[in-house]
Structure 1
Amino acid sequence: MATTVSHDSIITDTIATPADSLSNDSIAATQPRSMLQRHSAMTSDSTRRPRLSRTRISAGRSDTTKIVRTKVDLDNTVDFSAKDSMVLTGRNKAYMYGDGKIVYGSIKLDANEILMDMDSTTVYAVGTPDSIGEIIGNPIFDDNGTSYEAKTMRYNFKTEKGFITDVITQQGEGYLTGGQSKKIDENTIYVQNARYTTCDDHECPHFYMQLTKAKVRPGKDAVTGPAYMVLAGLPLPLAVPFGYFPFSEKYSSGIIFPTFGDDYNRGYYLSNGGYYFAISQNMDLALTGEIYTLGSWGLRAQSSYLKRYKYSGNFNISYLKTITGDKGMPDYSKSTNFQVLWSHSQDSKANPNMSLSASVNFTTSGYTRNDLNSYYSNAFTENTKSSTVNMTYRFPNSKWSLSTTANVSQRSQDSTLAVSFPNVTITMSQLYPFKRKRAVGDEKWYEKIKISYSGQFNNSLTAKQDEFFKKSLIKDWRNGMKHSVPVSATFNVFKYINITPSINLTDRMYTTKVRREWDPIAGNEKLDTTYSFYNVWDFSGSVSFDTKVYGFFQPLPFLGNKVKMIRHVITPTISFTGSPDFASPFFGYYGSYEYNDSQGRLQKKEYSMFPNSLFGVPGRGKTGSISFSLANNLEMKVRDDNDSIGERKISLIENLTLSQSYNFAADSMRWSNLNTSVMLRLMKNFNLNLSATWDVYTYALNSSGNPVRVNKLRLSEGKGWGKLMSTGTSFSYTFNNDTFKKWFGGGDDKDKEKKNTDNNTPDTPIDDDMSPQQGGPRRTNNKKNGIQIGENGYMAWNVPWNLTFNYSVNYGYGDFDYKKLEYKGKITQNLSVSGNIRPTSNWNFGFSASYNFDRHKIAYMNCNISRDMHCFTMRASFVPVGPYKSYNFHISVKSSLLADLKYDKRSSMSNGVRW
């Protein structure tokens, strides 16, 4: 039943009619309910049906005998309806029962019972109890997109004022509930004894701020008087004299409230407070700071930027002034540190010819030890930090490209800083200069010749951080240029052998040259450094032969037919390399001088005139060597009924390589060390890589009693061809729920997928109790009383977890055994473990640790526990062992609106925490 009331006029003709003679077209012929009984003054007996008015509402004239014209001063048409019934009494009063609705312009009101009085332009709405006593159909009031739910509501259309009890409305990310509210106008509401929460369970919130009084501007903000916090129904002694809650959904600037806490060494502090600048839709900026009661302070600037299809990045610049202890006392210290983090990446669509990328992590040596946020992060254990900025430009329709790079490397252990800037590289990709543009006939041999070019300019300096800016640009910085031109070709002879001759030309350009001489009067070496332009060039030629040899082995029949074939692939390579002796005086790269040693004997010392040069100098001595290399691959083909082709390959040895060389031109020690490497595919996602170097010569003591390598092969001494000189490997592996799925009967995911595909049904249990007459078996949800049930009928064990091992082991020469004239072996190991487990959907436990094998104890461990408590979260981190024992406790609201409603408690790494 729906009726429309125009704001122009309401014309009614009233005919008094006994209730028992009302016709079927009466607008209301039902027993009036509670609201009618409460608000009708037509009878004193609530059980007696009142006399009703038969009313026709029109927009113009009336054909009745008695006309009463009433002017209603409204700005919009009022549409009202009721699902159950509607009763119109008097002239301008309506009662609506059962899902009553009123629409007036942008205002909408829904409730189970509504009383509308057009004389006073007011409405009154309430909910009603159902058969079990629960209130249903509470009033829901919508004013221009802002919705309010309440128990009772009275509203005036004309003045736009209203009175609401137990309101429920969402403002921004939070909910305003309870209390008594007065709506003064469209933009202002006053509330008393209400509560504000960001918990979406607003009926029984996990936490809320109890507001004694507040002024609310819907969609804008709320200002409150005294308020206190209630957590899990328990009032806490955490109160504020006033509060401000912004509800703006627009991207805007605003204040960042600080965090309060205390530090053992620096006192109480306010941290991470400042101002957020919404600069534009593509960039923002947050300026924050921290201050301590003992004098320490810090500043930080953070920004993110993004230009779609162009670039994206962020930067973080921090400055810390740390003061510990009391001035004038022995423990007083004062330090200044800073950090620069910058990450930038360019979209490939922005410019196909040029790219710019940056990954900067520059930190002074003491920053990590003084920054509170670094205690429980991986940055605290990093010994080396590196930064790189790179720009590459590829010339259009050309083989040339230009790249410039800036590199900074820091070593926290000794505060060493290595800077390399600018580094410029020019490259020309491979080309065939003698290739015909329009080839006719077979390819000529000279057309296979290929050439490429690369040029480098580097400028670098390595120094302590406190001495870096004191170094001289000319005397201390190392710089130079290098040009490389490789020329090669590949020919095939006798169908199976590949021959590759090559020539490599290298030119180095330096700006300093050092000459040395002996000063017999002073008894020491004198240096003479000249600054000019010097060319240091060399060349070498080589030719290599390689082929592949295949061998097949089929196991004997009595061993079974599981293995079909074993294949062995051998790739031998032989190469000859030659170059002149660049230590000859003809080239001028090396010098020498004579001097008398402490025993008066005449000695001759040779030296390089370009020491510590960036690209080195050509080697001494002639080179005329032959190199041998042998690569092996071993695979096995086995039958497999589960495979689509009925067989599959298994790698026994993925790669086993041996290489060594012999220098004919050398006067001694012509054999090089033997190098070996092996790669085994142990599992589907795990490979073992192992490389080793074998020493083929023996050792003796020189005149000073120090061990030196001598020109005697170990084989001639009966000690075998070589002794293991160095080897090492590293690997990591992660165990998780899927690792042991097959062991616990979970099956393989591919098998499940194949099974589901064959059955063309989802992987859900079947309810076999359903009879065929009802449509046969049906799929049901595999849950019982809210518990996930597995395929075996038991509760599904679903606890996500993972455990990652990172292990590296290296073997090398250690101390020298003077009795056996052999070096002793030394093993160096590193092990780190990390993992986490989520026993429930809300709890999460994680840890990371490293083990020191030399000291046989844990070097560092960081543990963390987190609990998701619906609308707020709790985290605890602690370092239980080592010199940096400390802890951190944090609890905060999840909502970004109340992100500053949090509590932090942390210790310092040096406050003597004991467990």
Structure 2
Amino acid sequence: MVNRCKVRTKYLLWACIGFLFLFAFLSPAKSFPHSPYYFINNNADSIPASWASKLIYKNASNALTLSNKPPLDLSIYSKDSLAFIVDYKAKDSTVLMVPQNQFYLHNEAEIKNPDADISANTIEFNKNTNIVKFYGNKDTSNAISGRPTILQNGSKSILDSGYYNIKSQKGILKNTYYNEGEIYVQAAIAKKIDSNSIFVKDARFTTCNLDPPHFDLHAFKMKMISGKLAVSGPAIPEFEGVPMPIVIPFGIYPLTRGRHSGLLPAVFQQDNIKGLGLTGLGYYKVINDYWDVTTRVDLYSYGGYTINVNPDYYKRYAYRGNLNVSYQFTKTLNSYGNVAQEYTKNKTIHIGWSHSMDSKAHPGESFSASVNAGSTLYNSLQTLNPYQSFNNQLNSSITFSKNWDNGKYNLSMQANHSQNSVNHSINIQFPTINFSTATINPFQKKELVGKPKWYENIGISYNGTFQNQLSFYDTAKNSIKSLLDTMQWGAQHQIPITLTLPAVGPLLFSPSVSYSENWISRKLISHWDSTLAKVDTTIEKGFFTARQMSFGIAMNTRIFGTMNFKHGNIRAIHHEIRPTISLNYTPNMASSYFKTLQVDTTGRKQRVSEYSYPGSVGGFSETTFGGINFGIDNILQMKVLNKKDTTGDPDKETKKVSLIDGLSINSGYNLVADSLNWSPVSFSLRSSLFNNKLNFNANMTLDQYETDAYGTRINKLLWSQGKLGRITNGTISMSTSFSSKKTDQKTDQQRVASDPDPNMPPDQQLQQLNYVRDHASDFVDFNIPWNIQASYAMGFSKVINPDYSGFHNVYNSSLNLNGDFSLSPKWKAGGSIYFDVIHHQVGMMTLFLTRDMHCWQMAINVSPIGRFKSFSIVLNPKSGILRDLRINRSRSFY
């Protein structure tokens, strides 16, 4: 039975007397026993039927009544009454002792008020002292059931017994198990001095939710302020109940909920080229509801330091982003004895910015940024992060786009940056502006009536791009004038005209006309220097144009073939062929800016373009093409018996297996050329075998013509010698992954659903994935006993020599392996390796060993091979409150 009332002593007594009077008047045949208290059973069957129609309500004078008639005015509440409403219930009984002003609840008793919720086996309340007592029930085996539980201000306490003053908020709790957020405190005696503060004696502080915990800090005295912090005196760490010979002089543990400012503790680190380090020391500042800033400092004994400032901002349905600015001064020890100086000093800077705009904020507009820029040496000096130290390429992009009229007109503006730390080159493209229109049908009627005419399907569109670029080397002394001298701009305009014709049986025909024009700000003029006996170049600035047109008609179709089998595991083989044939004509409109150039001392000459300046939009080929382009793509699949099917469903009796996802061959023949008519043949193969366990991709280009001693094509087919051709470039890549079965029955969707923050935006997901990749040992999946990923890539190409003296071959081949396996349900080991097959050497290797200890985790990381060799041992709690309370040992070697 649940009752709600205002507990006021004076009128509680008057209400009881009035209750007895009315009950005696309505039921004269019944009487109450002579007893100093009244017993009220919670069983509804014991309530007299005559009460069922009566209402309990308050009139204007707040007096209580049991009648549906207006009650008597008994006067107002007394001044010593409680200022809040109390809900209470009990499974067994409630006992009210009027003369003593005492109230008892027995068996699964509960009291709820705005300040705290109390549940216990027995609860006693004395109105004279305003003290509530609560305790459990001890059986014959001394086991306690119905332990008191107190919920107050987001904290939870489970104890043996206690008492509590509901007015002064003071009380004593014995043998308390206290929980607030990730904090668990077990105390012999806890004394409440108000609604928020507790003094604890003989406390065990931990973030482990087991009983007994795996670890705790045994503090003799502690004060806890709910929702703010806990402060302890001297404490002794204990693991598995064994005290450690270490004394922590004091402890401050934050209990503030939500975002709050505070200090960030540091971690000790040892580096053989930077010295002893104190890393991660900083401060987290909450500016407002949308902004916060994290500032960290790394200090090293040799004199180096790093300053990181990381603002983060987020406004729901508007934008999200973060900025990271890092300044690094390194003073590294030179380990070689023949150097002139003992230390090498470098000043580097790095800027990272990620921003995304919610599509709902401004429909039709979007703004995004992904900036990764900085000094060339910054990444190479990250000694403990091999993935970052081996990253030689930095790229950035800032994009704004807008569309009008439901996407018919589109505008985008970009700023791009690329940087290579090997050759120290930096390229900045700003601005890059692109404007395009959707296909417009100028002859189409506004109101479609009947079957449209063929000319109504004629479509025209426009695509224009303007770009500006600066290129320089960060090792050179660049002035504003020299930077502006490298600036070059260009523009491209394309106007395609298309026509969609009705299908002729299984054939689709698509005519097209395209006009292109390029605007260029400079030309690269090449000439033969007889004095130096080499090709020299000069730059001519101005405004130059180049244009091109093309005409064509394409035909494509699809051909299907299926071979069925009545016996065996293979029931059918399905083959799909997708042929394409096009007739194209492209006139030579670029001959005016091509010339014949002597390229070596033998007098050999070569046609070169003046519009081939690197980085510009460039010119067009001087070749006139009027011929046929053709290609064919193949898809091969088969159906096999599904041995796992036991349903007898015909649709599930077989399963589809992909053999070839695509096998394409493309080439062409120029009908108007006087020589070198055949275009090189390109091959492409892609396949996913063994239920997508093995992914295979291959590309190759085959040239049918011979070359001279300098590698230049000559008009002599290799077919006449019985050869198909010569391979000019090709790549092969394979990747696979294997893993054992999962130890539990959860699906991947269930794992995603259990993520604590499934609404994380894409930019933060990318940052988290990058962090997981760089700290793989901290995020291993103990649910999968083992998994292996392997990939192999091989490439070959012919590249022209810088002096046009011929071609040279470039080869590359690499093998990547990574994986992990469980030594036991709590131990995991793994690593990754990059092997350069061409040079027969290991480029990078990382190994890790982790241990899951429920509320703690241990990670050992080793990089034994590479430019920077390092190892680290980290032991820290999983809890976010104590995560920085870590045991860290790390060293790196150059």
Partner Cα distance (2:500, 2:103) in 1: 100
Tell whether the 8 Å contact from 1:674 to 1:722 is kept in structure 2 after alignment: no
Select which of 761, 783, 792 maps to 1:807. Answer: 792
| Number of the residue aligned with 1:433 | 442
The equivalent of 2:779 in structure 1 is none
1:845-889 deviation line (CA, Å, top 9, x unaligned): 332222221243433222223323222222222123334321111
RCO higher in structure (CA 8 A, sep ≥6) = 2
Match of 1:714 in 2: 718
Counterpart of 2:668 in structure 1 is: 661
Aligned match of 1:831: 815
Task: Answer with 641-650 or 655-664: which moved more.
Answer: 641-650
Distance (Å, rounded) in 2 between the aligned partners of 1:183 and 1:645? 67
Mapped partners of 1:150, 1:323: distance in 2: 57
Residues 512-911 of structure 1: matches in 2 within 5 Å?
Answer: 512-513=522-523, 515=525, 529-546=539-556, 569=577, 571-580=579-588, 582-583=590-591, 587=592, 589-591=593-595, 607-612=608-613, 614-633=616-635, 643-644=650-651, 653-680=660-687, 682-685=689-692, 688-701=696-709, 706-716=710-720, 718-737=721-740, 799-812=784-797, 828-838=812-822, 842-910=826-894
Following superposition, the deviation at residue 477 of structure 1 comes to: 2.2
Quote how far apart the aligned CAs of 1:646 are.
7.0
1:225 maps to: 233
For the 8 Å contact 2:554–2:580, the answer to whether it is kept is no
Q: Is the 8 A contact 1:548 1:572 kept in 2?
A: no
Structure 2 unmatched ranges of 5 or more: 15-31, 40-62, 66-77, 643-647, 748-781
1:178 partnered with 2:180: no
- Corresponding residue number in structure 1 for 2:763: none
- Say if 1:7 and 1:76, in contact at 8 Å, map to a contact too: no
Deviation at 1:629, TM superposition (A): 3.0
- What is the CA deviation profile of residues 32-89 of structure 1, one whole-angstrom value per residue up to 9, with x for unaligned ones? xxxxxxxxxxxxxxxxxxxxxxxxxx999xxxxxxxxxx9977579999995897989
Alpha-carbon separation, structure 2, partners of 1:646 and 1:105: 64
- Asked if 2 retains the 8 angstrom alpha-carbon contact of 1:323 and 1:334, the reply is yes
Q: Which moved more, 1:805-814 or 1:254-263?
A: 805-814
How far is 1:94 from its partner? 8.8
Contact 2:37/2:96, CA 8 A, preserved across alignment: yes
Aligned equivalent of 2:410, options 398, 401, 408: 401
Query: How big is each residue's C-alpha offset from its partner over 1:400-445, in whole Å with a ceiling of 9 and x where there is no partner?
Result: 2111122222333333323222111111222222333345665444
Letter in 1 for 2:179: Q
Of 335, 341, 355 in structure 1, the residue corresponding to residue 346 of structure 2 is 335
Matched, 1:505 2:515: yes
Q: Taking structure 1 as reference, are residues 93 and 392 closer, same or farther at Cα in structure 2, changes over 3 Å only?
A: closer
Q: Judge which range, 291-300 or 633-642, deviates more.
A: 633-642
Question: 1:481 corresponds to which residue?
Answer: 491
- Where 2:388 maps in the other structure, the secondary structure is helix
Q: Is the 8 A contact 1:74 1:158 kept in 2?
A: no
* SS at 2:475 equivalent: helix
- C-alpha distance in 2 between matches for 1:288 and 1:461: 34
Total equivalences in the alignment: 789
State the TM-score, normalizing by the size of structure 2: 0.76
Is this contact kept in 2: 1:220–1:248, CA < 8 A? yes
2:299 pairs with 291, 308, 314, which one? 291
Distance 2:251 2:887 in 1: 17
**Structure 2 contact 581–628 (Cα < 8 Å) conserved:** no
AA partner of residue 360 (structure 2): K
Pairing partner for 2:422 from 413, 420, 434: 413
CA distance in 2, matches of 1:242, 1:630: 76
Q: 1:547, CA displacement in angstroms? A: 5.3
**CA spacing shift, 1:230–1:432, aligned 2, 3 Å:** same
Deviation for aligned residue 1:480: 0.6
Task: Answer whether contact 1:550 1:567 (CA < 8 A) is retained.
Answer: yes
**How do 1:344-383 residues align onto structure 2 when only pairs under 5 Å count?**
344-371=355-382, 374-375=385-386, 378-383=387-392
Q: Classify the secondary structure of the residue corresponding to 2:679.
A: coil
Cα gap change, 1:146 to 1:542, in 2 (>3 Å): closer
Q: Distance in 2 between matches of 1:619 and 1:95?
A: 99
CA RMSD of aligned residues (A): 4.6
Partners of 1:168 and 1:234 lie apart in 2 by: 20
Query: How far has the Cα of 1:458 moved from its partner?
Result: 1.3
Where do 5+ consecutive residues of structure 1 fail to align?
Answer: 13-22, 31-57, 61-70, 750-796, 817-821, 911-915
SS at match of 2:719: coil
Does 1:389 find its partner at 2:374? no
Question: Contact (CA 8 Å) 2:382, 2:389: kept in 1 or not?
Answer: no
* Alpha-carbon separation, structure 2, partners of 1:286 and 1:542: 59
Local SS of the residue matching 2:412 = strand
Q: Which amino acid aligns with 1:618?
A: F
Q: CA deviation at 1:9?
A: 8.6
Residues 490 and 98 of structure 1: CA distance in aligned 2, closer, same or farther (over 3 Å): closer
Residues 541 and 579, structure 1, Cα contact 8 Å, conserved in 2: no
Residue 224 of structure 2 aligns to which amino acid in structure 1? V
1:162 matched to 2:163? The reply is no
Describe the SS at the equivalent of 1:369.
Answer: helix
TM value normalised by structure 1: 0.74
Question: SS of 2:247's equivalent?
Answer: strand
Counterparts of 2:420 and 2:601, CA distance in 1: 40
Aligned residue for 1:303? 311
Q: Percent identity?
A: 28
Give the Cα separation in 1 of the matches to 2:479 and 2:613. 20
